[in-house]
Amino acid sequence: MENMNLNKHISGQFNAELDDIRNRVLTMGGLVERQLEQSLDALAALDSELAQKVIEGDHKVNGMEVAIDEECTRIIAKRQPAASDLRLVLAISKTITDLERIGDACVKIAKAAMDKRSKNQQPLLVSIENMGRHATRTLHSTLDALARMDADVALELHKEDIKLDQEYEGIIRQLMTYMMADPRSIPEVLDVLWAARAVERVGDRCQNICEYIIYYVKGKDVRHISYEEMEKDLNF
């Protein structure tokens, strides 16, 4: 009897620990979302003070990655989770890497916002801001799907990344015409190009997180698998 209570107590603690890392990854996601919004605000207004704030805030994102990963390792070593508990810990450990990289993308966008040369490229910056708002919505929905561990939403979001890719292709074309029309603008247009690239990568990172959600819920690694296979094999 005593033993049963002890087991219950231990499993209660364990569940609390799992809840804790779930909450912490969502807090980290919220911070990254704010970094992305602010980096885009800074780019739209060429606000170098706000941009500087984003750049300085990145160390918090980095710190959360290291702290959560350490906690994941501690839980594996101490609690020896199996089945879906283990999948949860591993999915979180991978998710934080992608969130940290989205944080790096925000720094790149903020750097473009700080670049004095960018101010000659206002029409291009508007295109990137639109694309960036699209990426922000994708990140927000991805974090929602993560909070609810909703594999169906994750699959839909994964499929929708193609729209962001198409938007990016359009911007690259637009950039080329600008450069060809005014070759002296090439260095400053390239700065804008790196920002566009960073935004496009946010979408790819969200796709990765969606794959981890599906892995947790369905118990299958879906990286490098076609949508047809996913839908056929996983009862979506």
Which stretches of the chain bind a second copy, using CB under 8 A?
Answer: 59, 62-63, 65-66, 69-70, 73, 76-77, 80, 82-83, 86-87, 90, 93-94, 97, 172, 176, 179-180, 183-184, 186-187, 190, 221, 223-224
Burial zone of 224 (CB within 10 Å; 0-12 exposed, 13-18 middle, 19+ buried): exposed
Min dist CB 44 to a second copy, Å, is 25
Q: What is the DSSP letter of 224?
A: T
Give the angle subtended at the CA of 65 by the CAs of 191 and 70, to the nearest 5°.
155
Nearer to a second copy, 147 or 186 (CB): 186
Nearer to a second copy, 150 or 191 (CB): 191
Report H helices in 115-219.
Answer: 122-148, 151-181, 186-218
Residues 175 and 159: their CA atoms lie apart, in Å, by: 26
Min dist CB 224 to a second copy, Å, is 4
Min dist CB 166 to a second copy, Å, is 17
Report how far apart, in Å, the C-alpha atoms of 87 and of each of 12, 40, 128, 230 are: 19, 34, 36, 18
Nearer to a second copy, 126 or 190 (CB): 190
Nearer to a second copy, 86 or 234 (CB): 86
